[in-house]
Amino acid sequence: MDNSILRRRRHELIVGAVLLVAVALLPLPIKDVYTQNLIIITLLFAGLAQAWNILGGYCGQISLGHALYFGMGSYVSTLLYVQAGLPPSVGIFFGGAIGGLAALLVGWPCFRLSGHYYAIATVVVGEIGYLLFLNWDYVGGATGVYIPIAKPSLLNLQFGKDKLPYHFLVLAFAAATWLAAWLIEGSRWGYSWRAVKDDVVAARSLGVNIFSSKMAAAAISGFFTGLGGAIYGLYVGYIDPDSVMAGHFSILIALPAVLGGVGTLWGPILGAALLIPLKELSSSFLGGSGRGVDLMLYGAMIVIVALARPQGLVSLFGRRRDGSA
Amino acid sequence: MALLEIDGVSKSFGGVAANVGISFEVAQGEILGLIGPNGAGKTSLFNSISGEVTPDSGEIRLEGKRISGLGPVACAERGIARTFQVVRSFESMTVLENVMVGAFARTAHARTAMRKAMDTLEFCGLAERADRPAWSLSPPEKRRLEMARALATDPKIILLDEMLTGLTPTEAQAGVELVREVCRRGITIIMVEHVMEVVLPLVSRAVVLNLGRVLTIGLPSEIVKNPDVIRAYLGDRYAAA
Amino acid sequence: MTLETVMQVALGGLLMGLIYALVAAGLSLIFGLMDVVNFAHGEMMMLAMYAVFVIWSMTGLDPLLQLPIVAAVLFGLGVAVYRGMIGRALSVQFNRGMVQIFVTFGLAIFIRGAAQFVWGGEFRAVTNTWLSDRSLNMGGVYLPLPQLAASLVCLAAFAGLLAISRTEFGKALEATREDREAVALLGIDRDHIFAMGWGLGAGAVGIAGVMLAGFYYVGPNVGASFALIAYVTVALGGFGSMTGALVAGVLIGEIEAITAAVLEPSLKQIGVFAVYLAVLLFRPRGLFGKL
């Protein structure tokens, strides 16, 4: 059996594999720490944006409070290490699990809300989480938690000054989220969500019931977001509510997907590749007075892309799946 | 036992009675026509059968079990499929993908759904269009797509809402053939049409609705000669003729 | 706990609640009219507050006198936002719901960044106005005049919105809300109505902002925290319902005041959010809303 769908899917896998190898080899010629860091952060956000995309883009539930799962993932993994000595190589998956669980808990009452109501609910829930962690002494409150520097080891996922292992870790993370999105796109869920977005009445007449699949999307999205949060905590060595749970972080997670193209496979990656270097470069150039300029930049970009090219920038490259340009 | 029983179904919308006390049965494997002038309540009844709408009173039973009030998804699961009067294709998808959505009603595996969808497209004569975007199809092709998509759900009953309306004679003939093929596959069909010449040769029985009520039920040959039916369609002037 | 304390808390909550009600009313108006949640609502209010600050620091003009000026500016801003962006967002072919959310959200971020850029991140305050540091003593209960004035003005503005709804224009607004498609047939220019709706919504939140500047700090993040309360208020009251905005606003104000008194001030939002979650679970369409 062969048709355009199968051909496209094969094509995507090949491109994905080539990209994976290329990015894996990328740090070899690069020796300066700044660029290495930039690549790592970009990859992390590519993965986070793709995780968001699974729920927000494919499934169509726009979450503006995803930082909650990111934050909970980092806190759980970090605290398990700091308080209970659980090695981070295991702990990060606990972080992911908590992220997934939290997403399920939020999703269950909220999914029956339509578009804007849902978005607002996620903002409020995210804010609640932020305030809770800010005022909770056990998790360090506003002071946050430091990850003690240990001897470099794979178990502890600490590597001293060497950034290369983190590069591979984050690349694996990004690749995993991409693969999850690829699998979902070709699955019954992917088709169901697209059908509902196109014409909910027709979809229902064909037996498409999406509540349970929305929950699955939330769990997967939350899991990867939490996982990313845990990895981020390890990499940066310090977490606090303002850096991992605040509202602006929710925006940062969703932004690459919106820019690149929600509901597309490459959109989040393209978006991250454009946005993160832009953000880092602008804050280096503009330094202290750059406060606010990055926000103005994001804001303007969101509005322009949303109005001029709502399918995202990825639509500039090649035809849309259905043959239209 | 009849496959589908409509039992005293009534439905009003904002004070307007769309269906009043509709009762009839549909036997397994038959092609039943649901006809009547505009505004007779045909699509409204379809909506009750397919679960879009819940009747105000009365019941609809499939294989003896109540399906009225369960909603469209549950009805689809139990084997009711339908097409819509104004075609509702998934415009962002290809023809094949559209039908796959239907096929996914019975399987969770993408490959199986794909194969099923391809087979259904072949059956409906749309196999060559499989990779085309749905919006690029001609209107009669879009109707076939609706049919194919509904068939992919492996239904027990398929409700066709004016599938043959507005087609050229050639297209209509092809459509009639397709309906006969579907029937030959053992699927029960209820067709809403208001163009009598097309539907009466095709159906085994017909239910005539007028002003929300059942006017008469019978064989096509009887319906055509029924003065009440003629009056309902054409008005009193022609009844005497 | 004395009677005075209880009254103090209750009245304090009422005063803030009326301000919340006006902010929510603006949001609800826009939503009821065209199904768009203005995620930049809080930031618009913040701009009004900065406008007051700037005018005051340059000319010493009291916020009360600035009211008509700033309200008009915000009205104009609302119309401009509609004409420049929202109108376009409404006619997008692809992903319309998402586009609406992100356009106003992007605007909010932009405005917040711009405020930070122009005025920096520190808080400003408007001081030494006619009303500041003065309060009314009603038998042991102190009502600070800025808050009292704010709540009265907001109540008046709310009444104003209701009065408008009874005029020809208001009827046109209501008609457009009921059936967007049909009004075109009646010769009502939908686009114009929408623009006016945005103007009114922004003007309302501008009035709230002006009065708020009389006693609240002015900073780039103020908009966000008030916006949050506004969303919760509108969700509680019901999207699209003016009555709902009023009732919910007062309720939220009271809940906040009580939580601050019973727990501690920094946790006052918890009570509000708890109410929101309860509404979400048990009555998603809010007290007076039609989902």
Q: Please, which pLDDT band fits residue A33 given cuts at 50, 70 and 90?
A: confident
Which of A10-19, A161-170, A316-325, B219-228 comes out lowest in average pLDDT?
A316-325
- Residues A102-155: pLDDT tens digits? 999 998 888 888 777 888 889 889 988 988 888 888 888 888 888 888 777 777
The residue whose two tokens read 């959200």 is C105
Q: Is C219 exposed, middle or buried (0-12, 13-18, 19+ CB in 10 A)?
A: buried
Look at residue A323 in the predicted model and tell me its pLDDT.
Answer: 39
- Residue A319 pLDDT level (bands cut at 50, 70, 90): low
The alpha carbon of residue A51 is apart from the nearest alpha carbon of chain B, in Å, by 22
**Which chains lie within 8 Å of chain A at 3 or more CB pairs, if any?**
B, C
pLDDT of B240 strictly over 50: no
Q: Is C112 on the interface with A (CB under 8 A)?
A: yes
Q: What is the pLDDT of residue B84?
A: 93
Sign of CA dihedral A232, A237, A242, A245: positive
Q: What are the extents of the domains in chain C? A: 12-118+143-282
Q: Which of A210-224, B226-240, C125-139, C247-261 has the lowest mean pLDDT?
A: B226-240
Distance from CA of A60 to the nearest CA of B (A): 14
Residue B239, pLDDT > 60, answer no
pLDDT tier at A158 (50, 70, 90 boundaries)? confident
Tokens of residue C41, six digits? 């609502």
Tell me: pLDDT of A159 over 80: no
Cα angle A271, A35, A270; round to 5: 10
Q: Is C272 on the interface with A (CB under 8 A)?
A: no
B31 or C225, which is more confident: B31
- Looking up tokens 């499929």, which residue turns up? B81
* Helix, strand, coil percentages, rounded to 5, for chain A: 75, 0, 25
From A242-256, B226-240, C8-22, C94-108, the region with the lowest mean pLDDT: B226-240
At residue B237, the pLDDT reads 52
pLDDT at A66 over 90: yes
Q: So what's the pLDDT on residue C208?
A: 92
Asked if A297 and C113 come within 8 Å (Cβ–Cβ), the reply is: yes
Encode A239-277: b = buried (16+ Cβ within 10 Å), e = exposed. bbbebbbbbbbbbbbbbbbbbbbbbbbbbbbbbbbbbbe
Best mutation target, B47, B92, B136, to test chain A (most A CBs within 10 A): B92
Question: Is the separation of the CB atoms in A239 and A144 below 8 Å?
Answer: yes
Are B23 and B7 in contact, with CB atoms under 8 Å apart?
yes
- How far is it, in rounded angstroms, from Cα A171 to Cα A23? 8
Q: Which amino acid is at C4?
A: E
Closest-approach residue (CA) in chain C for A247: C224
- In chain A, where the domains are located: 48-247
Token code pair at residue A6: 């199968």
- From C97, C108, C280, residue closest to A115, measured CB to CB: C97
Please name the helix (run of DSSP H) or strand (run of DSSP E) that holds residue C143, with its range, or none. strand C141-144
3-state secondary structure C149-214: HHHHHHHHHHHHHHHHHHCHHHHHHHHHHHCHHHHHHCCCCHHHHHHHHHHHHHHHHHHHHHHHHC
Say what angle helices A115-134 and A67-84 make with each other, to 10 degrees: 30
d(CA C244, CA C286): 8
Per residue in A183-198, pLDDT (tens digit) is: 999 999 999 999 988 8
C270/A293 Cβ within 8 A: no
Residues 161-190 of A with CB under 8 A from B: 186-188
Q: Does A28 touch chain B (CB under 8 A)?
A: no
Which residues 1-20 on chain A approach chain B with CB closer than 8 angstroms? 1, 3-6
Report the residue of chain C nearest A295, measured CA to CA. C113
Whether the per-residue pLDDT at C166 is higher than 90: the answer is no
Tell me: pLDDT of C287 over 90: no
Residue A263 confidence (pLDDT) above 80: yes
> In chain A, which residue's Cα lies nearest the Cα of B135?
A322
Contact A1 B96 (CB under 8 A): no
Instruction: Yes or no: say if A126 and A68 are a contact pair by the CB < 8 Å rule.
Output: yes
Q: Which residues from A are below 8 Å from C111, CB to CB?
A: 299
- CA-CA distance, C117 to A233, in Å (whole number)? 29
β-pair type (C135-138, B80-82): unpaired
pLDDT at C57 over 50: yes
Write out pLDDT tens, residues C233-284.
Answer: 988 888 878 888 899 999 999 999 988 888 877 778 888 888 888 887 888 7
pLDDT of residue B60: 94
C89 near A CB under 8 A: yes
Average pLDDT over residues B10-20: 87
- For the ranges A22-31, A175-184, B96-105, C281-290, the lowest mean pLDDT is seen at C281-290
Q: What is the mean pLDDT of chain C?
A: 85
More confident residue, C95 or B188: B188
Give pLDDT tens digits for B77-135: 999 999 998 999 998 899 999 999 999 999 999 999 999 999 999 999 999 999 999 99
pLDDT recorded at residue B50? 93
**CA nearest neighbour of C197 among C213, C212, C218, C175:** C175
Using CA coordinates, name the residue in chain A closest to B46.
A205
pLDDT at A325 over 50: no
- Chain CA centroid to CA B188, Å: 10
Residues of A in contact with C118 (CB under 8 A): 292
Mean pLDDT for the stretch of residues B153-160: 95
Smallest CA–CA distance, residue B17 to chain A, in Å, is 23
**pLDDT exceeds 50 at position B29:** yes
Which pair of tokens denotes residue A132?
């809770």
Average pLDDT along chain A: 87
Mutation pick from A10, A205, A211, A262 vs chain B, by most beta carbons of B within 10 Å, is A205
Whether residue A310 lies within 8 A of chain C, CB to CB, comes out as yes
Q: What is the pLDDT of residues B204-235, one digit of tens each?
A: 999 998 888 888 899 988 888 888 888 887 76
- pLDDT at residue B235 in the model: 64
Query: DSSP secondary structure string, A40-77?
Result: HHHHHHHHHHHHHHIIIIIS----S-THHHHHHHHHHH
Q: Which residues of A touch B101 (CB under 8 A)?
A: 191-192, 194-195, 203, 206, 208
What are the φ and ψ backbone dihedral angles of C136, each rounded to 5 degrees?
-95, 135
ipTM over 0.85 threshold: yes
pLDDT confidence of residue A286: 65
Determine whether the interchain pair A120/C37 forms a contact, defined as Cβ–Cβ distance below 8 Å.
yes
Q: Are A202 and B88 in contact (CB under 8 A)?
A: yes
Residues of A with CB below 8 A from C100's CB? Answer: 116
